[in-house]
Amino acid sequence: MMAVIKHSVDINASRERVYKAVATEKGLSNWWTKDVTADAEVGGKADFRFEGAGFHAVMNITKLGPNAEVEWQCTDSVDEWIGSKFTFKIEERNRNSLLLFTQHYSKPISDEEYGRFNFNWGYYLHSLKEYCETGQGKPYGA
């Protein structure tokens, strides 16, 4: 069985705001990395660069369900990420949002790598929460 990272994040913001944060270039640049280019349609690409950290990721955008879901498939990055699927599902919770994030790895990864990626996702999903709630996230390169 391949590794899966899951995070569940309560966000005091509308589903629309959370969706824009994970589905648009402007939104992504305010919580994950400042150095991003992202198309706005299914079949497009999103390119995330972390200069100085020696990391990048290119994603195919495979699903955009307005105010509900974003899905990517990684086509270029570190070996462990290539082929992995990333989903951001957004549910309404008392006029706020619950974000369900999942990264499904396509190949086995070491416990060390799993721990590192899981920790980093926790940090950046907290940055996403802060961006949606206050307008100020903590993206890489800020």
Q: Measuring CA to CA, which residue among 113, 124, 95, 115 is closest to residue 11? A: 95
Question: Can you tell me the mean pLDDT for 114-133?
Answer: 98
> Residue 1: pLDDT above 90?
no
The fold of 4-134 is Alpha-D-Glucose-1,6-Bisphosphate; Chain A, domain 4 (3.30.530)
User: What residues contact 73, with CB distance under 8 A and at least 6 apart?
Assistant: 59, 60, 62, 83, 84, 85, 86
pLDDT at 114: 95
Question: Can you tell me the mean pLDDT for 89-99?
Answer: 96
pLDDT band at 2 (very low <50, low <70, confident <90, very high): confident
Question: Can you tell me the mean pLDDT for 31-45?
Answer: 97
